[in-house]
Amino acid sequence: MKFKAVLLLLLASSLTVNAQKDKKKSQIKPRKEFISELMAKMTIDEKIGQLVQFTADGTITGPVSGDNYIEQIKKGNVGSILNATTVKYTAELQKMNLENSRLKIPLLFGYDVIHGYRTIFPITLGESASWDLKAVELSAKIAAAEAAAGGVHWTFAPMVDIARDPRWGRVSEGAGEDTYLGSKLAFARVRGFQGTDLSLNNTILACTKHFAAYGAAEAGRDYNTVDMSERVLRETYLPPFKATVDAGVRTFMTSFNEISGVPATGNKFLVNGILKDEWKFDGFVVTDYTGMNEMIPHGFAKDEKHAGELALNAGVDMDMVGGIYMKQLKKSLSEGKVTEAQINDACRRILEAKYDLGLFEDPYRYNDAKREKEVIYKKEYLDAALDVANKSLVLLKNSNNVLPLKKEQKVAFVGPLVSDEFNIIGSWAASGDRNGFAVSVEEGVNKIITDKSKISFAKGVEIVDAKRDMIQNAINNAKNADVIVAVMGEFENMSGEAASRTNIDLPGIQKEFLAELKKLGKPIILVLLNGRPLTLEWEDKNMDAILEAWWPGTRGGDAIAQTLYGINNPSGKLPMTFPRNVGQIPIYYNHKNTGRPYLGTADNEQKYKSRYIDVDNSPLYEFGYGLSYTKFSYSNFKVSSNQINFSQKLKATVEIANTGNYDGEEVVQLYIHDKVGSVTRPVKELKGFQKIFLKKGEKKTVEFEISAEDLKFYGIDMQFAAEPGDFEVFVGGTSATTMKLEFELVK
């Protein structure tokens, strides 16, 4: 196998070629002076106008608003517009704003650029399975370059919600279940979108969302209630948010949910308290779509005016679509319910972002039609999308090395998604083209296999439709083949926002169809296209191989075909646990031990243990798990000492050898376990990982460092500190690793 060398760095540097600073930049006064002078001229209505965002009717991403955005722009009542894209349309709206408003303050255009703008990368959960920070940063960087060329100033990403319930459709938009991995990826994504200089014309504002704990919605039902201790909030859910502040993110979005009785959008403790005071976040905070208005049905605000006061007093700067600040804030000011200083502060934060983007020098600097044409769908972007898709695939099972396929084998490709070029780019796919542009599995395979007598394609069944009339055709193809590849999964809109499911099996009669194929006695490879962990116990027992492909993006079909035929060796590892059944949810690797831990079937005492009587405690596929076509063996695990103090570092080293037949990449993972604490600690916590490439037969030593800093947690007194005592340290290629050593932290 030829492992495709990745030219990430080269590509990353070539991306800057188009980026240019605005030459006029030097002619404008320094930011503080410029904004102070501007604000001195602004009326209170104009200041409030900056805090208002409306949606254009290009893309629909929430309930339709009754406000006429065009009319409001003309009146100078709007600071920002979401869901307007393309150079032409954003320029039209900008012109309308500049020609009609008194002070000609440029509009800020926001859009959900989640995993690509036109060139679509794998869904965020899929990208996260790459555990490749450079690849993820590059994906965000390309998304920003394309979006900026398309008139967009601001993306509503990254979504950094930790999610441990695969029933929640929005797990597809995040980095999965783990705080450490999620924080690293969140940081990389912000760097990708914003770069180091927002005044370049290929960078855009990022927006960390949804603040906070949205991923913990009860029963995985979208928008549902969240109730958790401050310790869990700070330790598990907030660190990825903080990581983005450290990365310099310029905007935050509040979440729809309440947290322990207080909706996030009116939550002083969260927004002014943690985000602005404690973390010193100096950007601006926007609500989610009508999130301010929703404090009324939450039972927290008595009417819109009250909701606006709660939001501004909590520290929320911009009202997305709700129209409340526009209609109510002046009245609240006159009644003394909010202060002018608060309105000024919010307005200043928003103007600063516009200034930093260079919009005051040239409101049309993202509106260059020539650049839009040149930048969108550049070949190097499409190549990067393929590379990231290849890295995101996770091989869940591969009995008897049925994969990779050989070109000489006769293969029947079946399943509802085998020729799909619509769903394959996933949900929240911004302005990505689907039919006629995205690469299907069929197209990808056809590029590799020139002898067409070796391959056939037939759907057999639909995704949810129970009609059986297409099955026979696919079965006939399968009868004549050496191997069957079934490409199955969900519709793209079965995950994402407002797409929670209580049953996360393969939908429709796909499983039944697999059972019929199984009767043919041929090896079956299941390729999954989906946005969340699915329950796959039957498939795991009955299929010969399973490849989790998520929604892999514009070049998805190429990545799947290259992986099936061994041009790419899969290296993805699960960022989220796959349960055996929904009854196990929430299930995640870094759970607590309990007072009655169940030790497995070897445990003599079976009854009075923390376990189910009908299913094992273990997941089907655990966090950090993923196979390769080659084999990696771990040996010589050592720690530099069995004791460290608070200022020393422990070195943990391990040798990894590629003992299989292919070159490949491995994600080496390091976990710790704090054995006794003033509050109990999880059985394992990820504290480091390295993705390494090993040629066939090659061996490398990987080194990690652990210091007291890595061992901190919120103790009984809520101080974030490490406690002296005994620790276990684990290494391996999965969270289920048992390779462990011990050390002690002493004063």
Contact residues toward ligand NOJ (CB under 6 A) are 61-62, 82, 112, 156, 209, 288-289, 497
Least distance in angstroms from the C-beta of 255 to ligand NOJ = 8
Alpha helices in 5-86 (DSSP H): 8-14, 31-41, 44-50, 69-74
**CA distances (Å), origin 677, targets 725, 741, 742:** 8, 19, 16
Q: 489-505 burial, b if ≥16 CB within 10 A, otherwise e?
A: bbbbebbbbebbbeebb
Alpha-carbon span 248 to 246, nearest angstrom? 5
Q: Which entry of 112, 161, 288, 710 is annotated as an active-site residue? A: 288
591-600: list long-range contacts, CB under 8 Å, 24+ apart.
591/682, 591/683, 592/680, 592/681, 592/682, 592/683, 593/680, 593/683
For residue 529, CA distances in Å to 94, 139, 170, 325, 342 come to: 40, 20, 16, 42, 47
Q: Which is closer to ligand NOJ, CB of 163 or CB of 652? A: 163
User: Do 190 and 198 contact (CB within 8 A), yes or no?
Assistant: no
Whole-number minimum distance, CB 152 to ligand NOJ, in Å? 13
Tokens representing residue 132 in the block: 């490749």
Sign of CA dihedral 308, 314, 319, 321: negative
Other Cβ atoms within 10 Å of 262 Cβ, number:
17
Active site residue 288: yes
Q: Which residues pair with 252 in a beta bridge?
A: 208, 285
Closer residue to ligand NOJ (CB): 194 or 590: 194
Looking at residue 83, the DSSP 8-state letter turns out to be S
CB of 419 to ligand NOJ, least distance (A): 30
Mention every residue, 6+ apart, whose C-beta is less than 8 A from residue 311: 265, 266, 287, 292, 295, 319, 324, 325
Residue nearest ligand NOJ (C-beta atom): 61
DSSP 509-525: THHHHHHHHHTTT--EE
- Looking at the Cβ atoms of 209 and 681, the one nearer to ligand NOJ is 209
Q: How far is the CB of 427 from ligand NOJ (least distance, A)?
A: 11
| Helices 471-479 and 510-518: angle between axes, nearest 10 degrees | 30
In the complex, least distance from residue 160 CB atom to ligand NOJ, rounded to whole angstroms: 11
Q: What's the token pair of residue 291?
A: 């999130």
For 590, the token pair is: 């870094």
Site of tokens 């989610």: 288
Exposure on the CB side of residue 513, measured as CA atoms within 13 A: 34
CA distance 196 to 324: 34
- Judged by beta carbon, residue 156 or residue 671, the one nearer ligand NOJ is 156
Helical spans, DSSP H, in 286-323: 295-298, 304-314
Q: Which is nearer to ligand NOJ, 81 or 424 (CB)?
A: 81
Q: CA-CA distance, 634 to 208, in Å (whole number)?
A: 37
Contact call for residues 503 and 582 (beta carbons, < 8 A):
yes
Task: Determine how many CB atoms are found less than 10 A away from the CB of residue 184.
Answer: 21
- Kindly state the greatest CA–CA separation across the chain: 80
Phi, psi of 303 (to 5 degrees): -160, 180
Kindly provide the b/e burial profile for residues 530-563, where b requires at least 16 CB atoms within 10 angstroms of the residue's own CB: bbbbbbbeebbeebbbbbbbbbbbbbbbbbbbbb
User: Among 714, 634, 657, 639, which Cα is nearest to 681's?
Assistant: 714
**Structural contact between residues 525 and 397, judged by C-beta atoms closer than 8 angstroms:** no
What is the Cα–Cα distance from 423 to 6, expressed in whole angstroms? 27
Q: At what angle do helices 31-41 and 340-357 cross, to 10 degrees?
A: 130
Q: Which residues contact 291 (CB under 8 A, 6 or more apart)?
A: 254, 255, 256, 263, 264, 265, 320, 322
Spatial separation of the C-alpha atoms in residues 212 and 174, rounded to whole Å = 13
Helix (H, G, I), strand (E, B) or coil at 459: coil
Q: Which residues are catalytic?
A: 288
